[in-house]
Amino acid sequence: MKIAVIGPGDELYFWWGHIGLVVEDDVSGLTRFFDWGVFSFDNENFFLNFAFGRLLYSCMVSSAEWNLNLYKRTNRDITLYTLDLPLDKKMEIIRFAENNVLPENRDYYYHHFRDNCATRIVEILDMALDGQLRAEFGDAPGRYTLRQHVRRHTWFNPFFDWLLNFLMGQDIDVPITVWDEMFLPSEIATRISGFHYTDSAGNVRSLVSGLETLNTSVGRPAVLDVPRNPWPEALLVSLLLSQLLVFFFLLHGERRVFEIAIGIVQGLLGLFFGISGSVLFFMTLFTDHDYTYHNINILFVNPLFLAAIPLGLIFAFTADENRRFLCGRILKFFWVYVFVGAFITIVIKLLPAFYQQNQVTQALLMPVSLTLAFIMQRLGRSK
């Protein structure tokens, strides 16, 4: 009996790796792969259920050879951990797994952190060890928060790294235990490799008796040992954009050309952050994605951003100076609101109950919102 730990894959939902149970039958020669991470886009109302946080996953069993070859072909790390368990405990696991794949038992509602392919394996191992795994790790402090573990796997893609962390609220920024960290397959591998337990006869045994590397991925971004929080880079981007806007404002020759440009810029910002804020608003208030709850980003990035689209375009293209002046004043107050809202989220984070690691979003928006408020104020005065 082995635990197969699979490294990250290409698709977003594979970035955190995978894990499964491999059961070898010496009599029949069959090797089965029990997988608690199976889903299908073809499921009825899949995308609607996904949007509302009702992710129906299943436990399936199939050929281990077929599965492992598939992971090889898709350039993923594959490591097998042979379990040293008494025969009666192995049989207990097999009976449990076979019962899980029955049609009436196989489906469950997936949770990214509390109930996934990895947490199911941890529970099975703990069952076989009579609770010794939880006793060891249930209260042991973890290395990082849930958000930091997520960022270890998303760092190489700046857009999705920002978006996922923008959508996740403050509940994933609290200290967790080692047990909680084992929502990641790689954390399970780390912990069981050196784990020792006491069997029913009183003998101390190593849980893992052998390790086999079946495949090593080539050219795939590494999972970071230490998570990054790239707010300095975000701040630099925002400061550079702000400097460009001020530079062109001070040096513009044709006022109308600059007004068109600054209006388009505000419309584009409204489009990007308006969509992001609307998704956050929906997920926070209307779905079961509980890791998006209690998200202080909503104080300054929300559907109100969508108003910057028509206001920016009207300011850019209308020939009516009075309408342009009115849109400019509204935009000025809007950007002041964004800056003040972001500043408030910095202040309230001094209280531990409101701490959220959202420095990247703050760094992206504070300089540019203050700059746009200043420019719109100056343009209004020089009308």
Q: Where are the domains positioned within the chain?
A: 2-142+177-215, 231-381
pLDDT score, position 383:
55
Q: For residue 143, what pLDDT band results from cuts at 50, 70 and 90? A: very high
DSSP state at residue 141: B
pLDDT confidence of 251, banded at 50, 70, 90? confident
Q: CB burial class (10 A; 0-12, 13-18, 19+) of residue 307?
A: middle
> What pLDDT score does 40 carry?
86
Q: What is the mean pLDDT of residues 52-68?
A: 93
- pLDDT number for residue 379: 87
What mean pLDDT is predicted for residues 197-225? 95
Q: State mean pLDDT over 311-329.
A: 93
The three state secondary structure string of 284-337 is HHHCCCHHHCCCHHHHCCCHHHHHHHHHHHHHHHCCCHHHHHHHHHHHHHHHHH
Residue 43 in this model has a pLDDT that exceeds 90: no
Query: How high is the mean pLDDT of the chain?
Result: 94
Q: Tell me, what's the pLDDT at 253?
A: 62
Q: Is 301 exposed, middle or buried (0-12, 13-18, 19+ CB in 10 A)?
A: buried
Count of CB atoms situated within 10 Å of the CB of 379:
21
Please name which of 91, 120, 125 lies closest in space to residue 207, comparing C-alpha atoms.
125
Give, in order, the Cα–Cα distances in Å from 291 to each of 11, 43, 102, 169, 193. Answer: 21, 24, 30, 6, 30
> Which tokens is 235 given?
């701040």
- Measuring CA to CA, which residue among 59, 7, 15 is closest to residue 33? 59
DSSP-based three-state secondary structure for 9: coil
Are 172 and 113 within 8 A, CB to CB?
A: yes
In terms of phi and psi (left: phi > 0; alpha: psi -120 to 50; beta: otherwise), the region of 299 is: alpha
Residue whose structure tokens are 């719109």: 376
User: Which residue type sits at 341?
Assistant: G
pLDDT at residue 233 is higher than 70: yes
Residue type for 240, please? L
CA–CA separation, 242 and 182 (whole Å): 42
Asked whether residue 293 carries a pLDDT value surpassing 80, the answer given is: yes
pLDDT mean over 157-162: 96
| Least confident residue range of 164-173, 290-299, 320-329 | 320-329
CATH class of the 2-142+177-215 domain in this structure: alpha beta
**pLDDT one-digit tens code per residue, 96-141:** 999 999 999 999 999 999 999 999 999 999 999 999 999 999 999 9
Q: How much is the pLDDT for 382? A: 61
Of 7, 61, 2, 1, the closest CA to residue 185 belongs to: 7
- Report in angstroms the alpha-carbon separations of 125 from 83, 129, 178: 10, 6, 15
Q: Is the pLDDT of residue 178 over 90?
A: yes
* Residue bearing tokens 């440009």: 261
End-to-end CA distance of the chain: 77
Percentage with pLDDT > 70 across the chain: 98
Which runs of E-coded beta strand occur in the chain? Answer: 2-6, 18-24, 31-38, 55-63, 78-83, 107-110, 196-198, 204-206, 208-215
pLDDT, tens digit, 9 for 90 and up, residues 326-357: 999 999 999 999 999 999 999 998 888 899 99
Three-state SS sequence of 95-134: HHHHHHCCCCCCEEEEECCCECHHHHHHHHHHHHCCCHHH
Tokens of 360: 């990247």
Query: Quick one: pLDDT band at residue 205, thresholds 50, 70, 90?
Result: very high
Alpha carbon 129 to chain centroid, angstroms: 31
| Three-state secondary-structure class, residue 174 | coil
Instruction: Indicate the length of the chain as a whole number.
Output: 383
Report the predicted TM-score, pTM, of the whole model to 2 decimal places. Answer: 0.91
Which tens digit of pLDDT belongs to each residue from 1-36? 999 999 999 999 999 999 999 999 877 778 999 999
To 10 degrees, what angle do helices 308-317 and 255-286 make? 170
Strand 55-63 relative to strand 31-38: parallel, antiparallel, unpaired?
A: antiparallel
Mean pLDDT of 47-66: 92
